[in-house]
Amino acid sequence: MPDLTVYRWGYIFLKADSKLPLVQSLELITEAIDMHVTQEESRDIKNGFCEGRIYTKREYFVIGSLGGRKYYVEVETNRGKVEFDFLLKEQTWNYDAKISRN
């Protein structure tokens, strides 16, 4: 029987707030990737280091010749309010084919 596992991949352009360590920013990005896969537009976040939400307005932005859907993060931490955004672009073959597969 063939392996029917689906592998999905893409890239992220992150513009983060320096009040949030990179590891914690990446944990929030992982949440957004899950949102992308499940097609959620918003998700409330509450964990050991922050509380707030991640959301997308389904906007598509381009940086140079690469682009993707823009996600926003707004959370409260022990260092104060943190806001950042990033672009997420899935490159899986034939996914979102109406936009360039670069």
Q: Is the per-residue pLDDT at 98 higher than 60?
A: no
Residue 35's pLDDT is what? 93
Residue 37 lies in a domain: yes
3: its two tokens: 């392996």
**Whole-structure pTM value:** 0.79
pLDDT tens digits, residue range 45-79?
A: 999 899 999 999 999 999 888 889 999 999 999 98
pLDDT digits (tens, 9 = 90+) for 19-31: 888 889 899 999 9
Mean pLDDT of the chain: 84
Domain carrying residue 28: 10-90
Asked if residue 78 is part of any domain, the answer here is yes
17 lies in a domain? Answer: yes
Q: Are 9 and 96 in contact (CB under 8 A)?
A: no
pLDDT band for position 94 (cuts 50, 70, 90): low
Task: Please report where in the chains the tokens 């050991």 appear, as a residue.
Answer: 48
Cα–Cα distance measured from residue 8 to residue 91, given in angstroms and rounded to the nearest whole number = 7
Cα atoms in the Cβ-side hemisphere of radius 13 Å centred on 88: 24
